[in-house]
Structure 1
Amino acid sequence: MKLVIPLLHYSCSPTVCSGLRVVDYGGLKLKDNQTLLLLVSEVSNSSEVGKLPIDTEEKRSKEWLEMPCGDGMLSLKFTLWQDLLKGMNSVFHGQVRVDIDENWKLGPAKWFYLRPKGQEETDGGKVEEIGEITLKTTYQVDHILKMQYYKPLLDLLYQSGEVQPLTASLVAVIESLPKVELTPISRSLVELLAQTDHIRPVLSSLYVNSILKCQDENTLFRGQSLSGKMLFEMLMTFGKMYLISTLKPVIDRIFKERKNCEVDPSRVLAGVSVEKNKINLLVYFQMLYEAVTSSSANCPHIIKELLYDLRKVVGEHSERPGVQRLAVSSFIIMRFFAAAILNPKAFEVRKDLPDNRVSRTLLLLSKLLQRLSNCSVSDGPLSSKEIWLNGVFETVTSTEHKTVMASFLDNISLAGDRVDPQRCTVFKFGMLIQVDRNRMRWKRVLQAKRRYVQLTSTEISWQKDAHCPPKGIILLTDIKSVAVDNKHIITIAADPLPIQFEAPGVVEANDWYCAIEKQRNRALHGDDDESENYCTDAERHVDRIHALLFKYRDTMVEWRDQLQSDTEFDEKTPELLKASYVVERDRQAHKESLIATLCATIDVTDAIQRAHEEYEKENNEAVKIEEIVPETSQK
C-alpha cells in the first residue's frame, strides 16, 4: 500500500545551526483550505520542537526553519500533521527519523517516506515485494433462543447452592466434566449470578468441593478449580478499579524513576552497589506494602462478603487457625495484588509494557509481597531457593510487617459478622474532556475542560480532579441513551440537558460506552426477573453453558446409568461418582442427589436442544421459500 511521500530539503551549516524546508510532497489526499504542519525535533531533546507550515497550493514551505545543531551526528524526527489543533479535523500523516552526519555537507534534497511503500524497484530494475498478508476468515452463526427456553437450566444453576449435599450440585458436575476449559464457563456463571442472591451460596458450594478434594491445606485454592476461576472473575469485575487505584500511583513512580533494584550478585554489573539497589527495592516495597495494607476500606463490599464466605467455609472444615487467612491470601494477594504488580498491563494498571529493568523490579516486589503474605499466615518457617534474597526477606517479614498484613487480611474478609458501610463499586474512572458546544471553538481547543470521570454501580460523576468535589452527577436510571460518534465523543442523554465527553481515542470511547451501558442496564432492571436483572446478554451466557452440557451429554448419561446400576467403581471412575472425598455417612445421600441432578440436567439440556433444532428447521424452511419466490416471479 503506497502512502505519504514528502520531499524534505536539508542544509546543515558547519556552525551550530541547520536549516530545512519542504520542496515538494506527494501522495497526500487533502481538501481545500487545509493546513499542513511539519513538527521537527531532535531525538535526544524532544522538548525543542520547531514548526514549519507548508503551503498546500504550492506544495512547499515558503520559509526556512533554523534549528540548533550539535557536534557530530544530528538525529531529527519529523512529524507531519494536517490541522494540528485538536478537535478541528486533525489528521496524523506519519513520521520519520533522519540521521545527518558530517558526510552530508551540502544537504541535498531527498525523498523521505513517512510510511513504507508497497513495492520498490531495485537497482536491477526488478520490483521488490515488501511483503503480503494472506488472511483466512471463517464465521459461525449462533442461534440464541429467548430466555423462556433457558429458564429451567438457569433455575438449576441457581439451586446449586441449595442442593444437599453440596458436592452433588450442577456446578460440581460442570467442574468434574473431563477436559473442560473453566475460564469461559466461570465468566458466564459470574455474569449470570454476580448481582443475584445466588452468587454467594453457589460459590460456597464450590468452596466445599475444593476443600474436600485438597490433599494438603498449605496448597488450598492454589490449583485450577471452578471456585478459584469464579472468585477471580468477581475480583476483576467488581474490584478492578479498587486494584488500579491502589497500585497505580506506586507503579507509575517505578516506571518513571527506573531505579536499579537488582540484588542478585550474579546479575549486578561491575561498579554497581548492591546495597544501594537493596535500599531502592525496600523503598519501593514499603510504598506498595502501605498502599495495599491500608486499602481495605476502599474494597467493594461484595468482595468482602465473598471473602467472608470463603473464610467461614474454610473454618468449618479445618481446625488450623491460619488456614482461613491462607485461603484469603491465596486470592487477594497471590492472584490479585501480586499478579497485578508482576504484569500491570494485563490488569490495566498501565497501558505500556515495562522495560527489562522495571520488569525485574516488579518481579522482585511481587516476590516480596507474596513472601510477607505467606509468613503472616504460616506457622512454620518457609524455605527459600534464592539465598541472595534472604536478607531482604528478613527485613520485609518483620513482626510488625506480619502483624499489619494479618490485620489487612482480617479487615478485608470479616465484613459478614459486623456492620460495615457499603460503598458504591467503582467500575471505571479516568480523565476525559468535557465538550461544551456553546463555547467558542478556540476555547474548546486551547482551554479544554479536563474532567475526572467516575462510573459507579449507581451513577456517573465528573470533577476537576480526583480530590475536588463533583461538578455534576447523573444517576444511571436517569440516562435515556448513550452514543459515541466518529470523533470519539461520548454523548449521555439525560434530563435536563445531555452531557458530552471526548475520549483520547476510539478504543477508550468504546470502553466507556460499553461500561456505562452495562451498568445502566443493571440499574434499570434491578427489580425485574433475576435472570435478566444485570446481564446485557444473559441468553448467550446460558446458551454457552447449555452447549457445554450438550457436548458432554453422553458422559452424563453414562454417569447416571453407572450410579443407578450399582456397578463396582474402578480406577477410571471419576471422583465425583466415587465420592471418596465425601464423609462415608453422606455418600449415599450424595449418590441419590447426584442422580437427581444428572437426570434433571439431561432433561433440560435435551429440551433446549430440541428448541434449537426446531428453530433451525423453521429458519431453513423460510430460506427455501425466499429462494422460490424470486424464481416464480421471473417466470
Structure 2
Amino acid sequence: MRCWSCGRCRAPRPRCGWSSGTGTWWARMTSWVEFPPQTLQQKPPNGWFRLLPFPGTEEDSGGSLGALRLKVRLTEDRVLPSQHYQPLMALLLESVRGPVEEDTASPLAVLEEVASGDCRRDLATTLVKLFLGQGLAGPLLDYLTRREVARTRDPNTLFRSNSLASKSMQQFMKLVGMRYLHEVLKPVVSRVFEERKYVELDPCKMDLSRARRISFKGAPSEDQVRESSLGLLTGYLGPIVDAIVGSVARCPPAMRRAFKQLRLCVEERFPQAEHQDVKYLAISGFLFLRFFAPAILTPKLFDLRDQHADPQTSRSLLLLAKAVQSIGNLGQQLGQGKELWMAPLHPFLLQSISRVRAFLDELVDVDGEEEAGGPARALVPPSVTLREGYLLKRKEEPAGLATRFAFKKRYFRLSGEDLSYAKSPECQVRSSIPVSHIRAVERVDEGAFQLPHVMQVVTQDGAGALHTTYLQCKNVNELNQWLSALRKASAPNQDKLAACHPGAFRGGRWTCCLQAERPAVGCSRTHSAVTLGDWSDPLDPDAETQMVYRQLLLGRDQLRMKFLEDSHLDTGLEADTGRGPSATHGTCPEFLTGQRAAAAHLLEVLADLDRAHEEFQRQGQVAPGPPGP
C-alpha cells in the first residue's frame, strides 16, 4: 500500500499522512485509524479499529459525529512473472478434464478440502475468473457441481450449503450475467424506489398511522392496508415474472450452457419419478434464490441503484424478494413456517410456477460449445454504439513541452469500429481512432498529471509507431465503464502490448519508473484479457494463480501426509470426511499409484514456486512504486 507522500498507502499525495511511532494512517483529511504496531506484526494483520474524525472535524460539526468501527484485514503478496505460474496453471486446467470420482489429489480437490468459509467466496471468484480467461469456465463449473452432486444423498439439500461449487456458480452468474440482471430487474426496481408506496402484509408490523399519511384518507383498517399492499405487490411481481420468463434470448449463452450441464448432472444422479422437480430446483436455486432475489433485496450491491433504500422502500423490496424466492422454490414451502401472513400472495405465486418451469426448460435448450472468455473475439458489432459521453482529452506531449491547460473537453462515442470525438454531440466534424489500432487501454497513476480517474489509450499507426491519448473521467465508476467498453471493443486486436507505463513522460523521464527514454519498455503489465462486465475488473491470471498457490499451501502438509508419508493409505483425501468415493478405488494399487504420482507432482510445483518467491525476495525484484514527492 503506497502513495507518493508516505510510501505506504494509496491515497493521493496531499491527502494522507503517516506516523511511524503510533502506526496511525489517515486519509482524505476527514478521518483516521490508529493501528497499534503489535497489530501490524500479525500475519496477516486482522482486527477491529475505530474510525476517528480528523482533528477539528468533530468540533466543526458541534460534536454530533457518531462512532464507527471498521473490520480491517491487511494482505500483501508478490506476484511473480507469468512463466513461474505455467506449471500450476497446467495442473489446474488438467483437473477439470479428469474423472471426478477418482480425483482427490488434484489442485482443485485439495482446494475444496482446505478452503474455509471466510475465503471460499474469494477463492470461487478467483477460480471462475482464471478459467474464464482460459475459455474453460463451463468445464470448471461442471467439475465442481458433479463432485457436489455425487456426494449428495438427500436431493432436498442439494446446493443448499456454501460449498465451493455453490459459491463458484454464484460468482459466475455475477461476473457474466450482470447486464442481463439489469435488463430484467431494473425497470421494476426503479419503480419501487420512485413510487415509495407503503406495503405491508404482516399485521405485527403494520403502522396504520403511516399508512394513513401515505396511502389513505382517514384511518385505514388492517384489512384495507393488506388489500392495498396485495395490489401493489402483485403489480410489481407481475412485471418481474413477465420479464424473467421472457428473458431466455437475453440470458448469456455461457450461463445457459452451465445450467444445461447442471441439469444433466442432476438428472443422472436423481432419475426417480419422485425427484422430477430436482432438475428444476437445482437451476432455480441459483438463478432465483442466489441471483434475482438478492438483487431485489439489496439493489445497490448489484449496481441497480446508486444508494441503499430507505426503510419503507427496503421493506417493499424484502417482500418482493420473499415472493421471488417462493417462486424459485416452485411453491414447495408455501403455507409452511412462520410467515403465514404471506398467504394472500399464494394464488399469484402458484400461477407463476408453471410459467417458471417452462422458462427453465427453454433456458437449457441451447446448443454449441462456445465458452465465455478464451481466445479474443469480436464482442461488439461495428455499427453498435457501445458507450458515449464527455471526457477530458490530452495527447502525449513532445519532449520538453508542457502546457498548462492540456486537457480539452470532448464528446466521445465508441462503436465496434472506432472511437470518435468532437466538441459536442451535434458537431459534424469529428476525429476518430480506429479500434483496430488500439494496443492497450490502462489506468494512469494520479501522480502522472496530479489528476484522478485518468486512463490511456495506446494505439499503433501504419508505420508501427505507438501513440498515447490520455482521457480523464469524472469519477471512478465512469472510468471503470470506459475501460471495460474499450477493452471489449478491442478484444480481437492482435499485437497487444504486454507492458506499458502507468505514468507519463514529463520532465525528461517517466513519472512511474524514472526511466529517461521515451521508447523505454513499459514497467507495468497490461490487462489485455477479455473483460467480464461494466462493473468488474479485467482478468489478471498471474495474480489469480498466486492466490490459488497461497491457498494450496494450507493443504500441503495434509496432502503430503495422506499420499506420500502413509504407507497404509487406502482412501483418498476426502475419504475421512465420509464424502469421498467408495473404497473400491482406494484398494486398487494402480489407483493408489496414480494418486501418489499426482500428489507428488503438485507438491513439486508448489516447491518450485516457493523457491521462485525466495529468489525474488533475495534479489529484491519488486515492481517499482510511484516516485516520491
Q: TM-score range by the shorter chain?
A: 0.5 to 0.7
- The answer for the alignment partner of 1:613 in structure 2 is 614
Alignment equivalent of 2:109, drawn from 133, 154, 172:
172
1:197-243 deviations in Å (ceiling 9; x for gaps)? 43222221111111122232122112111122222222111111111
- The answer for the alignment partner of 1:545 in structure 2 is 548
Alignment equivalent of 1:152, drawn from 87, 98, 116:
87
1:582, CA displacement in angstroms? 2.4
1:604, CA displacement in angstroms? 0.7
- The answer for the alignment partner of 2:327 in structure 1 is 372
| Cα 1:588/1:328, change in 2 over 3 Å | farther
SS of corresponding position for 1:224: coil
Based on CA coordinates, which of the two structures has the bigger radius of gyration?
1
Alignment equivalent of 2:344, drawn from 387, 391, 411:
391
1:412, CA displacement in angstroms? 2.2
For residues 220 and 550 of structure 1, the distance between their equivalents in structure 2, rounded to whole angstroms, comes to 29
1:258-407 residue pairs with structure 2 within 5 A? 258-270=196-208, 271-272=219-220, 273-319=225-271, 320-375=275-330, 383-398=336-351, 401-407=352-358
CA contact under 8 A between 2:198 and 2:229: conserved in structure 1? yes
Deviates more, 1:233-242 or 1:130-139: 130-139
For residues 117 and 423 of structure 1, the distance between their equivalents in structure 2, rounded to whole angstroms, comes to 54
Relative contact order: is structure 1 or structure 2 higher (C-alpha 8 Å, sep ≥ 6)?
Answer: 2
1:68-467 residue pairs with structure 2 within 5 A? 118=57, 142-166=77-101, 167-168=103-104, 169-177=106-114, 179=116, 181-270=119-208, 271-272=219-220, 273-319=225-271, 320-375=275-330, 383-398=336-351, 401-416=352-367, 424=379, 432-433=389-390
The residue type equivalent to 1:224 in the other structure is: N
For residues 232 and 618 of structure 1, the distance between their equivalents in structure 2, rounded to whole angstroms, comes to 41
CA contact under 8 A between 2:259 and 2:283: conserved in structure 1? yes
1:247, CA displacement in angstroms? 1.0
CA contact under 8 A between 1:384 and 1:390: conserved in structure 2? no
For residues 495 and 146 of structure 1, the distance between their equivalents in structure 2, rounded to whole angstroms, comes to 26
1:413, CA displacement in angstroms? 2.3
The residue type equivalent to 2:285 in the other structure is: S
The residue type equivalent to 1:174 in the other structure is: L
The residue type equivalent to 1:290 in the other structure is: D
CA contact under 8 A between 1:371 and 1:393: conserved in structure 2? no
| Cα 1:491/1:141, change in 2 over 3 Å | closer
SS of corresponding position for 2:308: coil
SS of corresponding position for 1:156: helix
CA contact under 8 A between 1:527 and 1:533: conserved in structure 2? no
Kindly tell me the number of residue pairs found equivalent between the two proteins.
474
1:224-279 deviations in Å (ceiling 9; x for gaps)? 11122222222111111111122111111110001122111222233342201110
SS of corresponding position for 1:278: helix
SS of corresponding position for 1:397: helix
SS of corresponding position for 1:370: helix
How high is the TM-score relative to the length of structure 2?
0.64
The residue type equivalent to 1:253 in the other structure is: R
CA contact under 8 A between 1:173 and 1:576: conserved in structure 2? no
CA contact under 8 A between 1:459 and 1:475: conserved in structure 2? yes
1:605, CA displacement in angstroms? 0.3
Q: Is structure 2 residue 464 aligned with structure 1 residue 512? A: no
Percent identity of equivalent pairs: 24
1:298, CA displacement in angstroms? 0.8
Deviates more, 1:589-598 or 1:278-287: 589-598
| Cα 1:423/1:159, change in 2 over 3 Å | same
- The answer for the alignment partner of 1:479 in structure 2 is 438
CA contact under 8 A between 2:177 and 2:255: conserved in structure 1? yes
The residue type equivalent to 1:266 in the other structure is: C
- The answer for the alignment partner of 1:5 in structure 2 is none
How high is the TM-score relative to the length of structure 1?
0.63
Q: Which runs of 5+ in 1 are unaligned?
A: 1-114, 438-443, 463-470, 624-635
| Cα 1:282/1:500, change in 2 over 3 Å | farther
Q: Which runs of 5+ in 2 are unaligned?
A: 1-53, 209-218, 372-376, 395-407, 422-429, 462-466, 499-526, 531-537, 625-629
1:579, CA displacement in angstroms? 5.9
CA contact under 8 A between 1:242 and 1:298: conserved in structure 2? yes
